[in-house]
A and B are shown apart, each in its own frame.
Chain A
Amino acid sequence: MTFENKKILVVEEVEDEAGLRTALHEKLSDEGFSVLEARDGEEGLEVALRNHPDLILLDIIMPHTNGLKMLKKLREDTWGRTAKVIILTNLGNSGSIANVMDSETFDYIIKSDANMTYIVQKIKDKLRGTK
């Protein structure tokens, strides 16, 4: 399976974390993904519903997040209901996440645990539907 031109939307809440966003963007581009970016949940929802990306990487800061609000609204959309989402967080807070998601769509990566290769692997797995 080739991932060329697969559209990945990266919703990055943390504006001042350019070092992460840039690195991830570069990595994904290197891997041949087409990368879309949004600065917060509101913009992310808009871009997602407009462009219907193949996968959304939702980078949120727990517990103060509106990223989850975006996710909730996304699931109300016909397309969005089945959209593939991976949550990136720097801290596990599964309770809050579980509150807004059913277990099938519940998939997240703790950033510091993972290198980008791992994240890409996860994305590819998700796109293949194996995980």
Chain B
Amino acid sequence: MNRITLPIISKKIVALNTLQVSFGLNGVKFDFQAGQYIRVVLPKLLGTPDASDSGRELSIVSSPNNKKELTVVFRLSGSKFKNAIALAKVGDNVFVEGPYGQMVLPKNFDSIVFVAGGTGIAQFMSMINYATENKLPNKIKLIYANKSNETATYLPALETLLEQNSSFILEKIFGTLTPEILKQYTAQDVGAAFYVSGPGAMSDTVIDTLVSSGVSEQRIHFEDVITRLYPNRVSLSSMIDRSAEGVFITDLHGVIRYVNREWERISGWASEEVVAGKFTPRIIRSGKYGKEFYEDFWTRILNGETFHKDFVNKRRDGNLYSVDEITMPLRNAAGDIFGFITFQRDISERVALQEKMESLVANRTEELNKRIGELNDVRVATFNLLDDLENDRAELSLGKAKDEALLESLGDGVIATDLNGRIILMNKAAQTMFGWHPEAMVGKSLFDTVPVEDEKGKLISREEQPMQRALTTTTTTTTTGPTYHYVRKDKTKFPVAIVASPVMLDNKVVGAVEVFRDISEEQRVDRAKTEFVSLASHQLRTPPTIIKWNTELLKNSKNNLDKREMKMIDEINIANERMIRLVGSLLNVSRLELGTIDIKFQSMNITKIVDEIIFELTSDISVRNIEMKKNYSNNIPDLTGDSDLYSIIFQNLITNAVKYTPSRGRIEVTLSADGQNFLFNVRDNGYGIPKDQQKYVFTKLFRADNVKAIDTDGTGLGLYIAKSVLDLVGGSIRFESEEKKGTTFYVELPIKGVKARGGSTKLVTNNFLRS
């Protein structure tokens, strides 16, 4: 900004309340054009702060030709600025900024009409002075309006100018400058350039009147308020010109009178072509809006309404563009509408963006709809699933109810525990047996709540209990013996048979379940049964013994029985011996099952025992012409164990071989040892055991179908007893057999035998040839 300091060189009242101040240039170069103005800023010394309020725009009265001084004029209004400048002394310095103002004397013109009001005369004075001084030939008319004679300034000066310049016409009007007066004074000047300066209301009236009289707006120059107030900023018209919004102005008939640069840009039309021809905004109609729309539009704006709408317009090149448009009426000072101004904001980008957004939204909506559709499917599927689950649940509840009823009705006790052995379930039977209420047991450790004892009343450690084994080793334990006794709440005991199994989930143990049964009644019955058999056997043995001994006496008597009588006695003896054997076997079975067998621990010569057994069978072997082959290894050590028990094994096996081998058959008895074990084999080429019955060979009272008829003497107890005895002494037995080809039994006995065991009973050895 150009800012210079100038001294006040003179002050002079030139009319009522009107002060003219001159600043000395004194060699300072200050170029301006006639018609421009300056901004005068007072330094602090002069009583007002050097701020925006301390400055005023003042028209330059003096001509640019005057290089000595710069003269301004203003009316005193009581403002601080004006008071301060009025009170300033000649010689005081002020700051001067400028020059400003577009309303300068045109370079080429035929005639000019200046319309001035009040101090608005100042800038015209400068122009007229300048024109006169430079002897410009152009015609100048000044219409000078003042409220009264007193407020008019420069009247003498104007008179002088009239004398000096023959092209200058002065029209003085004291009072209000009405449109009628103005029209009257300007009737001949339609083609002139008009300059208007003065109070705002006067200017508006003048301009309106001129326009309505057919003066082109392009030819009317005036200083608008904004420009006047803020001269160091752009002027209003230039603001409009440079506005980011497209602006066009039409007259009442819609003929375009003005367009700004932005409108040129967005519409593609140049200002000259549009304003020069009598174009209306039809040129940008896109054809998207109908006749009724425009009728409505016109009705409204002619009624003075402001019309605001997004429009699609057509560019000069035919492309469409979108604007946010506001059209509002322009009114003159009298309030009459004389035209319309339209602001158009190019929203093509916004619309494009919006369209893009809309398309995106549409796409997204479509996607979402699709997704919603899918979700709906899922929802339906889920509901179906829920339905299914509900059905399953109902079935499960029913199943559960059944299971629970089943569980409760079970006669066996059922207990389930978690991994730590805490009881999670027990049924009614268990409750009854323990004497514990489930509420008192569930959640507690099974091992703490129910002690387990053996038959002697010794506590069985947790590690040895079936449930703990199920939990830790995942083995299912089934107890059969009389080992386990549960202790009730009242400390009494009862023997149990237990089946404890791990509960597996995904190959991991999560708990265990035990099914158990009070076997005291079974044991009692079993014992009673065994004792009955034992006693019965005992009672059964005496009569055959009486028969045996008395027939013996009879045979040896000196009464000389004849052959027939002797044969009868032999028959009695044979049957009696059979009876004795049968009773003995039954007795053995009962004792084995009672588990109270006494096992001796003594050294024995096993070969001798086997020989003895074979010897006892000599008559049977020779009668049937059976070839008996003894195949004894010579390194057989003495065995340690119970010879009576071993005898029972060998006796049963060899007797069977003899019994079930037909005449002229062959039997081979093999004895050997392999260091740990004594091995006894007996092979025959007899009847054999049918394949389908081989699995029953060691069961009690089993007799193979193919020999039942051949030998009616068998009890079906021999092999059962042999197997039971071998189990007792830690031996083993197996066989190979084929029907009609023969059978081989293989027996292994530990050479060192089993520990002696105190028991109350002995087994009966049969068939010793003591009869």
A23 to chain B: which residues have CB within 8 Å? 546, 549-550, 552-553
B765 at the A interface (CB under 8 A): yes
Q: Which residue of the partner chain, among B544, B549, B764, contacts A116 with CB atoms under 8 Å?
A: B549
A24 to chain B: which residues have CB within 8 Å? 549
Cα–Cα, bound, A14→B123 (Å): 172
Supposing A94-B762, A115-B771 touch, asked if A20 and B542 sit within 8 A by C-beta, the answer is: yes
Interface set, chain B 726-771, CB cutoff 8 A to A: 758-766, 768, 770-771
A111 at the B interface (CB under 8 A): yes
Supposing A20-B542, A112-B584, A114-B770 touch, asked if A95 and B760 sit within 8 A by C-beta, the answer is: yes
Q: How far is the CB of B771 from chain A (nearest CB, A)?
A: 5
Q: Which residue of the partner chain, among A26, A27, A61, A111, contacts B545 with CB atoms under 8 Å?
A: A111
B552 touches A115 (CB 8 A): yes
B553 touches A95 (CB 8 A): no
Supposing A20-B545, A90-B538 touch, asked if A95 and B598 sit within 8 A by C-beta, the answer is: yes
B545 to chain A: which residues have CB within 8 Å? 20, 90, 111-112
Cα–Cα, bound, A63→B763 (Å): 15
B760 touches A115 (CB 8 A): no
Interface set, chain B 562-604, CB cutoff 8 A to A: 580, 583-584, 587, 598, 600
SS class of chain B's interface: helix, strand, loop or mixed? helix
B39 to chain A: which residues have CB within 8 Å? none
How many residues in B have their beta carbons less than 8 Å from beta carbons of A? 31
Cα–Cα, bound, A14→B545 (Å): 14
How many residues in A have their beta carbons less than 8 Å from beta carbons of B? 27
B541 at the A interface (CB under 8 A): yes
Bitwise interface map of A from 14 to 35 toward B, beta carbon under 8 Å scored 1, else 0 = 1001011001101100100000
B770 to chain A: which residues have CB within 8 Å? 113-115, 118
Interface set, chain A 88-113, CB cutoff 8 A to B: 90-96, 110-113
B548 at the A interface (CB under 8 A): yes
B537 to chain A: which residues have CB within 8 Å? 91
Supposing A95-B598, A113-B770, A115-B552 touch, asked if A17 and B542 sit within 8 A by C-beta, the answer is: yes
Bitwise interface map of B from 527 to 554 toward A, beta carbon under 8 Å scored 1, else 0 = 0000000000110011011101110110
Cα–Cα, bound, A51→B206 (Å): 184
Cα–Cα, bound, A17→B543 (Å): 9
Most buried by B among A61, A95, A112: A112
Cα–Cα, bound, A114→B770 (Å): 5
Q: Which residue of the partner chain, among A17, A26, A96, A114, contacts B553 with CB atoms under 8 Å?
A: A26
Cα–Cα, bound, A24→B762 (Å): 25
Bitwise interface map of A from 110 to 130 toward B, beta carbon under 8 Å scored 1, else 0 = 111111111000000000000
Which chain B residues have a beta carbon within 8 Å of chain A's beta carbons?
537-538, 541-542, 544-546, 548-550, 552-553, 556, 580, 583-584, 587, 598, 600, 758-766, 768, 770-771
Q: List 23 A-B contacts (CB under 8 A).
A: A17-B542, A17-B546, A19-B546, A19-B549, A27-B553, A61-B538, A91-B541, A92-B761, A92-B762, A92-B763, A93-B760, A94-B762, A95-B598, A95-B759, A111-B541, A111-B545, A112-B541, A113-B768, A113-B770, A115-B548, A116-B552, A117-B552, A118-B770
